[in-house]
Structure 1
């Protein structure tokens, strides 16, 4: 499968994957995910320099959260302004699932920036365009006339409701998977960092061990076809997907891409603001990372949820940009590749990450000086 080009590595001086001995000594040894947070660090003075490396306490906390979680998990926290990154399993590829809608949205906005498309362009969704799983727009598709809307509406549905049919319609409009891979390649991301799969229908049917037919988009026919497969066939297909996910991405790669988006390096200033506003109003995953973001902070994000084969759940993700009241932005990626832990335990992990980031946040020099102005 064709994928994007090479990824630029994070400078070693700004990348923290291992915990220094002193920090490791402070890391709690409990098996619970409720990692006690160290005391918040004092605010720097207006003349202090911006921290060029993360606090040892944050390094220890992120590492311990990842180590304690019962399953395969990757975590990355990237300070957008200073460039440091803290991670646990940050370079491993995890299934993105609907996180990959983020790259479709960026490819669309890039086409708008280049004058190739307009968000006001009319698009008609027909029965033949329907996909599977979560697709609220399917209720709007009536008879042969289908449902006519705009690319802007499809973008809102894809990013805020994670509507698979809306996303696949945008994907066709921008030129298919190769167009998304091309966009990522132009932004210096590649198969060692961010992959893009074949679209929802092919990705999900292959993951389940099925060959897609369009009738599976109707009602619960996909679920029925999947349930009729021998368990051994489903396990074989799921294992193959998890071992080499065609939509795989590393938490560090995603966090860096989000950081570039926040800095205006992925899209024009107008498109950057518009996409981040859409992501801030996302309705999915209210109990994931977002539930740990304190009042006064903002969180623009995209979730992803993969298929289950009891007792295993796969591709349970939340990635986004968490912004402090002083304007400091942290790009966060929490990706659970595989686990048998119940959903509340997954929520606990994700909320612990955002709480740790907020608890150990230090305003930048610029922000402190601004706050102290009369």
Structure 2
């Protein structure tokens, strides 16, 4: 009897799965990668996910909580965005992504903290990130800031330099999709920063130019996407990590919170990014077109066209 009841419960749960959840399940099915997804509407009960509580390496997504921690210090009067720091050659390491280094190749330049945050968030500057980490007391200080917010399933333990030079260090900065979505919601709801700091970071994330083939790809022109990407190098043994997390603003102004984290991908960068774009696309369709009694369930053919390749 207990086995029969359990089977009935599983069948019932499957039958009750939302069209959005069914679309997500179809997108991630049988992909040669570990994939984590959380999608939530303004009402957190409008929800779909996959591997929601699994740990994933953040890569440059961790620059979002780093920026939050710095701006928290701004709000407390300990840091001023207009304050300048003298960039030394040792601040601008070679062989890493750094628009700041390209802009100030000789270093010895006075650069405002605001500009460093903007380059770190909008252009994912690795050197800028480490400058900000030193400013607030290192990765452990940012980690404690996150823990103080009540977010347990996120860890920040190393800086960009360590992630690029120490084997497996990149796995020490991790989050679950659920925890990242929780942080995005707190940010959107204005519970983390004062209005000026909120607007500053919101604008920097909205103006991000990185990885247009991910969350941004399927969205209509002009849609506001406030997001942060993260990417690792590819290795034959470990594959690659490809992430994008953010807030999509619907035409009515309501938010959709979305975290897509992919690790160990053995696919090409283009095909891995297509997974993220597909998740973003079905989220947009669901929340922008949802009406009472209207199903937006996509057919298998429609999903394959959206994803861009057949399920293996």
Q: Assess same fold via TM > 0.5.
A: yes
**Alpha-carbon RMSD:** 2.2
Q: 2:82 maps to what in 1? A: 120
Q: Distance in 2 between matches of 1:364 and 1:123?
A: 49
Pair 1:170-2:96 in alignment: no
Pair 1:347-2:273 in alignment: yes
User: Which of 239, 247, 256 is 1:321 aligned to?
Assistant: 247
Q: Distance in 1 between matches of 2:105 and 2:221?
A: 42
Query: 2:242–2:273: 8 Å Cα contact kept in structure 1?
Result: no
Name structure 2 gaps, 5 residues minimum.
Answer: 1-10, 292-312
Q: 2:59 maps to what in 1? A: 97
DSSP 3-state at the match of 2:172: coil
User: Which of 21, 25, 46 is 2:14 aligned to?
Assistant: 21
Q: 1:65 maps to what in 2? A: 27
Q: 2:172 maps to what in 1? A: 246
Pair 1:204-2:159 in alignment: no
DSSP 3-state at the match of 1:291: coil
Moved over 6 A (4+): none
Q: 2:299 maps to what in 1? A: none
Deviations 1:27-61, CA, capped at 9 Å, x for gaps: xxxxxxxxxxxxxxxxxxxxxxxxxxxxx100111
Query: 2:143–2:157: 8 Å Cα contact kept in structure 1?
Result: no
Q: 1:136 maps to what in 2? A: 99
Matches within 5 A, 1:221-232: none
Farther off after superposition, 350-359 or 289-298: 289-298
Deviations 1:43-100, CA, capped at 9 Å, x for gaps: xxxxxxxxxxxxx100111122222422111111122344543211111111101000
- CA spacing shift, 1:254–1:19, aligned 2, 3 Å: farther
Alpha-carbon distance, 1:364 to partner: 9.4
Q: Distance in 2 between matches of 1:68 and 1:259?
A: 30
Q: 1:294 maps to what in 2? A: 220
- CA spacing shift, 1:175–1:80, aligned 2, 3 Å: farther
Q: With structure 2 as the length reference, what TM-score do the two structures score?
A: 0.83
DSSP 3-state at the match of 2:66: helix
Q: Distance in 2 between matches of 1:297 and 1:200?
A: 31
User: Which of 64, 69, 73 is 1:107 aligned to?
Assistant: 69
Q: With structure 1 as the length reference, what TM-score do the two structures score?
A: 0.70
Q: 1:34 maps to what in 2? A: none
Name structure 1 gaps, 5 residues minimum.
Answer: 1-17, 25-55, 208-237, 366-374
Deviations 1:289-334, CA, capped at 9 Å, x for gaps: 1111223531111100112213753221111101101011011111
Q: Distance in 2 between matches of 1:269 and 1:80?
A: 20
Q: 1:183 maps to what in 2? A: 145
Query: 1:66–1:75: 8 Å Cα contact kept in structure 2?
Result: no
Alpha-carbon distance, 1:150 to partner: 0.4
